[in-house]
Amino acid sequence: MRRLRFPSVLIPVALITALTCLTYGIAFSATCTAAERPNVLFLICDDLNCDIGCYGHEQVKTPHIDALAGRGVRFANAHCQYPLCGPSRASFMTGWYPDQTLIHRNAIHLRERAPKVNTLSQHFRDAGYFASRIGKIYHYNVPLHIGTGGHDDPYSWNQTFNPRGRDVIDQDQVLTLRAGQYGGTLSWLAADGTDAEQTDGIAAAETVKQLKRFSQSGENFFLAVGLYRPHTPYVAPKKYFDLYPLDRIKVPSVPTGYLDTIPPPAAKSLTRKKEQVNLDPELAKRAIQAYYASISFADAQLGVILDALRQTGLDDNTIVLFTSDHGYHMGEHGHYQKTTLFENATHVPLVIAGPGVSAGSVAATMAEMVDFYPTLSQLAGLPIPQSVSGVSLVPALKDPSASVRDSAFTQYDRGYSLRTPGFRYTSWGTEGSEGVELYDVSKDPEEMHNLADDPAYAAQRQQLAARLRERIEAAGAIPAGSRRVRVQFDRQLQSGRQ
C-alpha cells in the first residue's frame, strides 16, 4: 500500500481517499477513487500583465497560453487584490484580502501575520493530495532569493523545489538603470545559451519529472509552479528578443500636465522610481522589447509543462489554473512596473481549464484572485472554509455568461479601488480625503481622463463611493476562526528589492 509521509505519522493513501469521499461526497459517487478526483496544476508567472495573444495583444507571441485558453475559460476581467508580489500572493493563497492577512508589503512570512491560516494548497494537502511547489509561489526577493525558499510557507507543501539557473550566474552581465539593483528597477539581458539553462527552464524540466511520477503513482496532486519571468531582470535567450524588432516597439505617450489631473498619491505611485520617469524613447523601447521577450520565453516553458500534462494522459483529469500575481505597466501613464491603482497594474490574466469547464469560452464577469481558493475547492469537491473571503467562479466556468461578481476590489498604500464593468473608482485616504479618481472605462479604457469632478458623473461617483465603502468594510473583517498578529517588522529588503 502506498503511503504519504507526514511529520511523525504514516497515513495510507487509500484511507485518506476513503475519508475524503465520505466527507466531500457531494461531488463524488460512493465508488470514488483517487483516480476519479481531479488533480490541480497551478501555473503562475511573475509580474505578467495582459499583453498576451489571447487577451488581444497584436504583437506579443504566447501560443501556449493562447492554446490553453482555447480549451478552457479565459476571464476578461480578473483583478489582483494588491499590485505587489508579497501581499498579492499571500492574499490568493489564503483567500483573504490584504487587510485580513495584514500583509501590505514584501519580505513578510505569512505565519508572522496569520499563524493559524489554512492555505489553499494546505487545504488540498489535508484532503489527501500531494502538494508540491516548484519555483516562486509566495514572495521571493528577485533575483536575490532565486534558488532558495525565499519567504515560502513550509506548512503549505509536502515537497518543494527551488530552481537556480544561469540567469542568476550571469547577473553581472545584466543592464540595469540603477547600479547593483535588479529586482526593483528596469534591467534586462539577452542571454546566451538555451532555455534549459535558465531558472524557469529548469523549473519546467522538474515539473515534467513530477508529472511523469504522478502519472505512474496515481497520487492526486496539487502542483504549483511559479515561473520568475517576466519579473525584472528581464532575462531570456537572445532568440526571444529577436521576435520583437526595436523599430516595431511602440512607447505609450502621456500628455503634458497629466499628473496635475490626478490626486497627489496617484501621481506619487507613478513617479516613485525616479530613474524610470521620463525614459528616453530608445531606452524605453529596449525595456519593452526585453519584457516582451521574457513573456514569450515564459510561454515556451509553459508549453513544455502543458505538453507533458497531455503526454502523460493527466490532462483529462487535471484542473489547470494559469495566472499572474498582478498586472504591470510598460510606459502607460508614464510608469514602468507595478504598484498603481490603474488597470495596467490590477488586471491579471486568468485561464482555467479541465474537466467540467466550458472549452474555448470567455467569461466577462468581474473576478478576483481571492476567488481561486473557493473555485478550486469546489471543482475538486472539497468544502469551502467559512474563513475564505472569495467566491467560487464555477458558475462562470460552466456558463461563461454568468455574472459571479459585480465589481473587483484592489488596494495599494492608502488607496482603494473598485472596478466595475463600466467604471473604475479610486479613493485615496479616509473617505477620499487625499483625492478621488473616476474613469468611464467604456469610453476611456486607458483611464487617462479623471471624471471625479465632472457634474455629469455625480450620480455614478456617489453610487460607486457607497459600494467601495461596503467593499472596504468587508475586506477588513476578521476571517472566521482566524488569529492574526499585527507586529511592526524592521526587516529591509536587500539588493534584490522589489
What residues act catalytically?
Answer: 85, 139
- DSSP H or E run through 252: none
100-105 long-range Cβ contacts below 8 angstroms, 24+ apart: 100/389, 100/475, 100/476, 100/477, 100/478, 100/479, 100/482, 100/484, 101/484, 102/484, 102/485, 102/486
- Distance between CA atoms of 100 and 92, rounded to whole angstroms? 12
- Distance between CA atoms of 324 and 43, rounded to whole angstroms? 8
Site of grid cell 472554509: 385
Q: Look up residue 70 and give its three cell numbers.
A: 482555447
- DSSP H or E run through 347: strand 347-348
- Look at the alpha carbons of 158, 199, 68, 250 in this order and tell me if their dihedral is positive or negative: positive
Give the residue from 214, 234, 236 showing the smallest Cα distance to 225: 214
- DSSP H or E run through 331: none
Task: Please count the helices (runs of H) and the strands (runs of E) in the chain.
Answer: 15, 20
Contact 164, 206 (CB under 8 A): no
Phi-psi region of 489 (alpha: psi -120 to 50; beta: other; left: phi over 0): beta
- Distance between CA atoms of 377 and 307, rounded to whole angstroms? 25
Q: What are phi and psi of 424, to 5 degrees?
A: -125, 130
Site of grid cell 521576435: 243
SS3 at position 425: strand
- Distance between CA atoms of 259 and 269, rounded to whole angstroms? 11
Q: Look up residue 412 and give its three cell numbers.
A: 495599494
Residue 33 DSSP code: -
Maximum CA extent, the chain: 71
